[in-house]
Structure 1
Amino acid sequence: MSQIETNRLPQMTTVWQQSLNWQPDAAQEQLFQRVYQEVIEGNRQQNLTRITIPKDFWEKHLWDSLSGIVGLEQDFLAQKLQVIDIGTGAGFPGIPLAIAFPHWQITLLDSTRKKINFVNDLITKLKLNNATGIVARAEELGRIPGDRQAYDLALVRAVSKASVCAEYSLPLVKVGGLAVLYRGHWNKSDTASLKSAVARLGCKIELIYPWETPISQGVRHCIYIRKHSPTSKKFPREVGVPEKQPL
């Protein structure tokens, strides 16, 4: 038996329920275990993650991916949402969310082809019919008619500065939809800066949810941004501009 096969994720049923008001069923637990095994195996071919210890992987990849749902209403979660995960890397948060919410349709976006190849291979192995990975830059996708303002929910997990993440995600969100920014530390000046940026994109900050990770007590904030009006056609700006000249 290989080392990967002997490494089992911890059973955290109570923690799931207490922290997220959700818990995986047995089939979802098995899929999470398969995600762990495949990511660790994929790490041998490319740099997917530095987080390889089972309890750390559970907390920093699986639990953290699903932590973005805590500020969302149950009625919203129950809908058949069109979701986009921007800068998915090895598939987080998109893959865990596709497992947790099989009625959602999730697009996993990354500009690195090797990572999306891994993600699509993982989707196939897990038989996830509600997920697909695509290679593109968010600045380009946000200008394509079929994707611009096409998503109910956009997720960005610490890709860049918050205002940059907002410009990547909000042009892709429908009017009335939400973007969720996964952040670590957060303060009042961050809020003021982001508030100004999202206003230019037709949006408002609806909720800032502070909390800690359940094992290591790491600081986390989820920033929920509601789209109230169509984003100006001048956004997103050309590839590379948001990063170099944040709103």
Structure 2
Amino acid sequence: MNEHQKKRMKEGMEEIGFSLKDHQLHQFRDYLELLQEWNQKMNLTAIKDADEILTHHFLDSATCSLYPSYGECHHILDLGTGAGFPGIPLKILFPEQSFVLMDSLNKRLVFLEKVKETLGLTSLELVHARAEEGARQKPYRENFDAVVSRAVASLPVLLEYTIPFLKVDGWFFCQKGPQWKEEIEEAKKAMQVFSVRLEDSLEVKVPFTDLNHQLLVFRKTNATQKTYPRKAGTPSKKPILNSL
């Protein structure tokens, strides 16, 4: 990370609302270097340019925390973490929070183990599991204050993946694009099934980019029925839609 990139990171984080300490900036630098090094031998991200990684991954991940209630959460799940987004940037910014990063591809978790070790991250657990399987394991089912995810899936599918992990009154923070209103309409039935309500939505701009997201904020109101999530593959093949 050169001086220009360090300046961009500090200014971008300040625009979002964070004043980076030196050791946090060093952690982001080390993360960037590991990501670029490992990306040469395995497909971690299609974005290879360092400046774009800083904006489209690091700064973008930080925007998942912009709703005030995020800061009150203690135990957080990053579902479908991939190369560690948004979980690793959030863990750097909120070191006091406890994180579980879950992914279905084990080789990504091998990379994240190296990241965890190099950055000196504690209270960070890496779990190899599909969402449908992980949500049925006792240590994870209805055990989290919040779930964050940048996974590319329709909202009805995402709700079935994520809500079973949440405690009652827990939060789901979800980034969506320009079609977010249509997705919410499409997910009305799923929101009923999974006892979740849309608490708020925030328009989010990522500094130094033309990226504009809607941060959707969901709150869980009742325990998840034992029949959910359905078996692996079913949520994406047969999503719970309004017409059902």
SS at match of 2:64: helix
Question: What is the match of residue 111 of structure 2?
Answer: 118
Label 1:22 to 1:195 Cα distance change in 2 as closer, same or farther (>3 A): farther
State how 1:119-198 maps to structure 2 within 5 Å. Answer: 119-198=112-191
Structure 2 counterpart of 1:108, from 101, 112, 118:
101
Structure 1 counterpart of 2:59, from 45, 49, 63:
63
Structure 2 counterpart of 1:241, from 230, 234, 237:
234
Give me the TM-score of the superposition, normalised by structure 1.
0.91
Q: Does 1:31 align with 2:24?
A: no
Question: What is the match of residue 11 of structure 1?
Answer: 7
2-structure distance, mates of 1:39, 1:7: 19
CA drift of 1:218 comes to 1.5
Question: What is the match of residue 71 of structure 2?
Answer: 77
Q: Deviations over 1:154-181 (max 9, x none)?
A: 0110331121111111000000110111
Deviates more, 1:206-215 or 1:53-62: 206-215
Question: What is the match of residue 43 of structure 2?
Answer: 47
Q: Which amino acid aligns with 1:39?
A: L
SS at match of 1:38: helix
1-structure distance, mates of 2:85, 2:182: 28
2-structure distance, mates of 1:7, 1:114: 32
Structure 1 gaps of 5+ residues are none
Q: Tell me if the contact between 1:164 and 1:246 (Cα under 8 Å) persists in the aligned partners.
A: yes
Q: Percent identity?
A: 28
CA drift of 1:130 comes to 2.0
CA drift of 1:133 comes to 1.2
2-structure distance, mates of 1:166, 1:77: 22
Q: Which amino acid aligns with 1:129?
A: T
2-structure distance, mates of 1:232, 1:29: 43
Question: What is the match of residue 94 of structure 1?
Answer: 87
2-structure distance, mates of 1:187, 1:100: 27
Q: Which amino acid aligns with 1:205?
A: L
CA drift of 1:35 comes to 0.5
Q: Which amino acid aligns with 1:243?
A: S
Q: Which amino acid aligns with 2:71?
A: L
Label 1:167 to 1:92 Cα distance change in 2 as closer, same or farther (>3 A): same
CA drift of 1:55 comes to 1.9
Say which structure, 1 or 2, has more relative contact order (CA 8 Å, 6+ apart). 2
